[in-house]
Amino acid sequence: MKTLNKELSVGDMAVQFQAMDETGKTHSLKNYRGKTVILYFYPKDQTSGCTKEACDFRDFSSQFSKKGAVVLGVSPDSAKSHQNFKDKYSLSFPLLVDEDKTLCKAYGVWKEKSMYGRKYMGIERSTFVIGPDGRIEEVFRKVKVPGHVQELLGKMGTVPN
């Protein structure tokens, strides 16, 4: 598989960004200094895997909060699509708009994929745990949705209920 940018690894400084959420509010990584940021990239609003993943993050949001962590979802969908997705599933965290895929490329998750022999560019479902100092603490690539959020909490020292 081809990557457009260098893949980020544990110990690397996270790529700084500014991105708008579904309400038009701008989020910047520097604004979260001192907190752990769970930055997760997903392919598309309202699809089965992405809905399950978002609902898992929602259902365990209090445990992330107890760890001083904030969750930010990112996909190339529009603000309107994100708002509909967030409203429909009562998501409790911001969904960042990345229509031009700048953030996806910066984090190395915009990749060549293949399905039924057809090659295309798309999001590799990935999660980055960014520590309070701005360094990447954990990287999960090619995420399989079932159990991912629970595994993430386990690595953060929280046992999911």
CB neighbours of 28 closer than 8 A, spacing ≥ 6?
A: 16, 17, 18
Are residues 59 and 27 in contact, defined by beta-carbon separation less than 8 angstroms? no
Residues recognised as catalytic:
50
Gap between the Cα atoms of 89 and 91, Å rounded: 5
Could you tell me the two tokens for 89?
A: 């599933």
What are the start-end ranges of the H helices in the chain?
A: 48-59, 61-66, 79-89, 102-106, 148-155
Distances in Å between the alpha carbon of 8 and those of 27, 60, 74? Answer: 20, 26, 16
CB neighbours of 148 closer than 8 A, spacing ≥ 6?
A: 53, 56, 127, 140
